[in-house]
Amino acid sequence: MRLRHRTLRAAKRNAVRVAKRKRAFKPFLVTTWDGGVARRALCVSPATSAPSHICLSENLDETLRFIKVVRAGLEQVRIGSSAAGKRRDGRSKKNRVRQIRGYVDFSAISQFGTGAAVVLTAMYDKYRRISGITPSTVDLHKWSDEAFVTLYELGFFETVGHIAGTEQRYTDSASGDLRTMSMMTGTNSKELQRASEAILELSKFIGDKDPLRADVQVALNSALGEAMSNVAAHAYPSNDAGESGQGDLKLWWVSASADRVRRTLRVVIYDQGASIPVTLPQRSWAKAFSAARALETITSGLVAPHPQDADFIEFAMGEGNTQTGRPGRGEGLPQMRDLVQICGGGSLTILSRGGVCCYRPDVKLYTRPLPVPIQGTLIEWEMNLPKAA
Amino acid sequence: MEKEVLISISDFSTYPSGRDERDGPFNGTKFRETVLKPAFETARASGAKVVVSLADVMSFGSSFLEEAFGGLVRQGAVTKREMRDRLVVDPGSDINLRYRDAIMRYIDRA
């Protein structure tokens, strides 16, 4: 009862804050660009500021909240369509400045993690494929170099349909010790060789002639191929197509980044499917569900929409624990974990719907529920690459 | 000299992965049906060993290996005993020893 009163008071305070902000807000001009000619537009709602650290490993909760806001905005545009500045007959009104209802402000970003950049780009990619609309960037010239360079290297601008026009800024801004691989997409392991070769090429940025040992290369390819196959086999169950509106869009998105100071290689694969907890068969749920976890979540005060999901992911990472329940299955996630051991240092992090599970050799498995779910599953390997002898 | 039927997985693909066609074009089912099973049939007829080379292969996804080798036992085409007697897995290099062991494990568990 007391909790209910507290929640109501907080909601009331929040509503007052929002109303004050709305009263204080004054529309302002921005520059929009969708790969063609830059245009002026009047922004009639406040912009959503990205956090300065968008990173799934170092600022997980805030990053997930931000991703949720961006996703909601994209879905709203898709449903409501972007009719601003157009007449009902579809023709643009001449001499009238187009209006936009808010946008995402990328100017304050000082760190942009590879995993978060892949999730955001994949969301925009899905939006464009489904809607056919090329989303505009707003005030691109104000984006921080960190945000611009990461997204440029990832192929964000091509992905959303901005064919040309950003090369010069990239040439002027690119520097530093981090390089990101152009994102790839696919539906199964057909693209494994291409992805493997691109990652090997990226790893040379670290500085050595052959920074990836042969055994690490094979283990990485095996783990990545397994992840790609898992997307084809499990991520988008046939009965999910109608519910999620994904249609034939049953894709994975892969990228990687190399940090030559820390000598680390990060490889990320993401899908926007049903998630591991959802695709585990019912009989596995009972085994994985931890009452202790649920109690821990309640007593810690963390509001988690899917408190048991971290346990499901941990369960799926165990050998022989399968999404099909059939014999000989359930080796894929353990093989993904083995890569970190073969490498000799690093981590494997899996975020799936409402849980995160992080494995490091010789350290207790880290698991926890997420305050905001991630749509689908993200798998990220961080590999520490020893200096060549 | 013992008779041998030689198979190189790299002749099938250097990047094999997945269980079936849905998972990818160079999957375990395809390898089992088009390469491994015919090799066992040939070897059985002449009393030869089946030597599978892992050399030059760049990925060994567990789904691929399990479906190819474990699957052959599971579908009853070859018994575990015959697998143990007739199959020789040549790792090709030390880095592939763990994958040779994985193959033997999948056969045992099938």
pLDDT in tens, chain A (389 residues): 555 666 677 777 777 776 776 677 899 999 988 888 888 999 998 888 999 999 999 999 999 999 999 998 888 765 543 433 344 444 455 567 888 888 889 999 999 999 999 999 999 999 999 988 888 889 999 999 999 999 999 999 999 888 777 788 787 777 789 999 999 999 999 999 999 999 999 999 998 777 899 999 999 999 999 999 999 999 998 765 444 455 568 999 999 999 999 999 999 999 999 999 998 875 555 555 566 666 666 566 666 788 889 988 998 887 665 555 566 666 778 889 889 999 988 999 999 999 999 999 988 899 999 999 999 999 999 999 877 65
Contacts of A332 in chain B (CB under 8 A): 61-63
Say whether B58 and A332 touch across the interface (CB within 8 A): no
Q: What is the ipTM of this complex?
A: 0.96
CB contact under 8 A, A218 and B59: yes
Contact A328 B67 (CB under 8 A): yes
Q: CA triplet A232, A194, A154: central angle to 5 degrees? A: 90
Residue B36: strand, helix, or coil: helix
Beta bridge partners of A184: A254
* Spatial CA neighbour of B87 closest among B19, B7, B1: B7
If you count residue pairs, one on A and one on B, with CB atoms under 8 Å apart, how many are there?
A: 97
Interface contact flag, B18 A189, Cβ < 8 Å: yes
- Residue A206's Cβ-count burial label (10 Å; 0-12, 13-18, 19+) is buried
**pTM, 2 dp:** 0.87
Number of H helices, E strands in chain A: 14, 14
Q: Are A321 and A330 in contact (CB under 8 A)?
A: yes
Structure tokens at A274: 């049903």
DSSP sequence for A74-89? HHHHHHH---TTB-TT
Distance from CA of A361 to the nearest CA of B (A): 18
Q: Do A232 and B24 touch (CB under 8 A)?
A: yes
Q: Are residues A280 and A237 in contact, defined by beta-carbon separation less than 8 angstroms?
A: no
| Beta pairing partners, A92 | A86
- Give chain B positions within 8 Å (CB) of A233: 18-19, 22-23, 63
- State the residue for tokens 């040779």: B100
Are the Cβ atoms of B60 and A218 closer than 8 angstroms? yes
Alpha carbons B27 and B15: distance in angstroms, whole number: 9
For residue B87, the distance in angstroms to the closest alpha carbon of chain A comes to 19
Residue A103's SS3 state is: coil
B58 with A196: Cβ contact below 8 A: yes
Question: A28 — alpha (psi -120 to 50), left (phi > 0) or beta?
Answer: beta
User: Which of the pair, B102 or A242, is modelled with greater confidence?
Assistant: B102
B82 Cα to chain A: minimum distance (Å): 19
Rg (CA), chain A: 22
The residue assigned the tokens 């299955």 is A329
CA-based nearest residue in chain A for residue B14? A193
Backbone angles phi, psi at B39, to 5 degrees: -65, -40
B17, B70, B106 member nearest A189 (Cβ) = B17
Using a CB-CB cut-off of 8 Å, the residues of chain A touching B58 are: 193, 196, 217-218, 221
Instruction: Search chain A and give the residue with CA nearest B59.
Output: A222
- Other C-beta atoms closer than 10 Å to the C-beta of A2 total 6
The 10 Å Cβ neighbour count of residue A326 is: 10
- B74 contacts on A by Cβ (under 8 Å): 327-328
Does B64 contact chain A (CB < 8 Å)?
yes
What residues of A are in the B interface, CB distance below 8 Å? 188-190, 192-193, 196, 214-215, 217-218, 221-222, 224-226, 228-229, 232-233, 327-329, 331-332, 334-335
Separation of alpha carbons A231 and A233, rounded Å: 6
Question: Which residue carries 């993401």 as its tokens?
Answer: A270
Contact list in A for residue B109 (CB cut-off 8 A) is: 327-328
Q: Does B67 score more than 90 pLDDT?
A: yes
Measured distance CA(A146)–CA(B9) in Å, rounded: 44
Residue A351, number of CB atoms within 10 A of its CB: 28
Q: Is A127 left (phi over 0), alpha (psi -120 to 50) or beta?
A: alpha
Q: Which residues of chain B lie closer than 8 angstroms to A215, CB-CB?
A: 95
Pick B59's closest partner by Cβ from A225, A232, A328: A225
Residue B22: its chain A contacts at CB < 8 A?
A: 188, 232-233
